[in-house]
Amino acid sequence: MAATDGEPLQKWKYLQNILSRRGPFTDPDWEPGMTSLETLADMKILVIGAGGLGCEILKNLALSGFKDIHVIDMDTIDVSNLNRQFLFRQADVGKPKAEVAARFVEKRVKGVQITPYCGKIQDKDEGYYMQFGMVICGLDSIEARRWINAMLVGMVDGDNPDSLKPLIDGGTEGFKGQARVVLPTMTSCIECQLDMHAPRAAVPLCTLATIPRQPQHCIEWAHIIAWEEERKEDTLDTDDPEHITWLYNKALNRAKEFNIPGVTYSMTQGVVKNIIPAIASTNAIVAASCCNEAFKVATSTAPPLGMPEESNYMMYTGDDSVYTYTFEHQKKDDCPVCGNLARKLDVNAKSTLEEFLESLAERPEAQLKKPSIRSEAKTLYYQFPQSIEEQTRPNLKKRLEELVEDGEEVVVTDPAFQLPFKFKLAFRQ
């Protein structure tokens, strides 16, 4: 067996045990041999996120034989990242994560090429994502996950097998985490699984507006109330330093007014982006699981999560001993991304349209932030442009039974997502 690109085979000796012999779960059609190592070297793979999970994923992929890796991240390195994002050093603070991570791994693992992009995943079009063999996500944002999920599902063309790009997603919250494999249009997608990521509990608006008791209340007031009153025409970008600084200053002034200590820039960022404290060991375990699945997908040495009739979701908990569990999350026919049916919602016919739209932010199956809505017959309310918002604003105070019929389908859109959501409203009896 020849080495790849003139490298000594000894470098990949640990892979020979896997690639040169069958295992108990190996597909019968799989042929052992180091040609799989060449497959790894030739496959172009995309990593989204170069933070806590992303650093681990990049390192693992490079040490597993992948040589053509691309990475996207829009953030710069903060001093708070250094305790767990091990590819960064003090001198890197302020630099783009994607660039620093790429150069570090290239320096330590000879022969690997990592191409960084500093920006949003939304900056790239379908043609960009079509070039990759698979996509691995190490994100801390549900919105970004939903966007890339919708993109990959929409790319699938039944006449072009290469248009199906496996999506491997990892996520962590403290001592808990998950890894999952999505085969677009074949298995349940991230939108199907959205109800497993329940939105955080809301603080009553009366508390935010009148009697804040905690620094987080002051930040939420700036986020929800002050921004809407003073910068309504601007769409809040939680990754824009100018927007976070504005919220921080507003929250700090309100905290001083009520003699509440503790408001900081990092806390403001954490509250607005709903950042959960990260544990380095959890990142390492979940990233290892993601890269293990990537290796199985690329080499066919064992069935990965997500294959038909197999588990597609792995959960890990490390807060009470060490426990993992895998199960199959079912594909939903009423999924707005990969399904073809409208999702049924039980609603109170007496509630107003405004109350219904507010509930879409709290519903686990929706989690929409600035929804606009139209029925089968007419536009009920649009957030943008301002002229249509003014025309449809009176509908917000009307009851649902005045605007739609029982069982009628409505279409809801949100500027954060590139797809419409179809719901069938069923009035509660």
The catalytic residues are 206
Question: CA-CA distance, 75 to 84, in Å (whole number)?
Answer: 16
Question: CA-CA distance, 31 to 297, in Å (whole number)?
Answer: 15
* 98 contacts: CB under 8 Å, gap ≥ 6: 50, 71, 72, 73, 116, 117, 118
Joined tokens for residue 32: 């052992």
- Please list the residues that pair with 176 across neighbouring strands: 173, 317
> For residue 323, what is the enclosing H or E element?
strand 323-327
Question: CA-CA distance, 73 to 248, in Å (whole number)?
Answer: 24
267, 219 contact by CB (below 8 A): yes
Q: Which amino acid is at 334?
A: D
The Cα-based distances of 400 to 364, 423, 429 in angstroms read: 21, 14, 14
- 121: how many CB neighbours lie within 10 A of its CB? 23
Angular region, 174: left φ>0, alpha ψ -120 to 50, beta rest: left
421, 413 contact by CB (below 8 A): yes
Please state whether beta strands 421-427 and 343-347 pair in parallel, antiparallel, or not at all (unpaired): parallel
> Cis ω on the peptide bond leading into residue 116 (within 30° of 0)?
no
Q: Which amino acid is at 35?
A: T
> For residue 289, what is the enclosing H or E element?
helix 280-299
- Reading across the β-sheet that carries 421-427, which strands appear in turn? 343-347, 421-427, 409-413, 372-375, 379-381
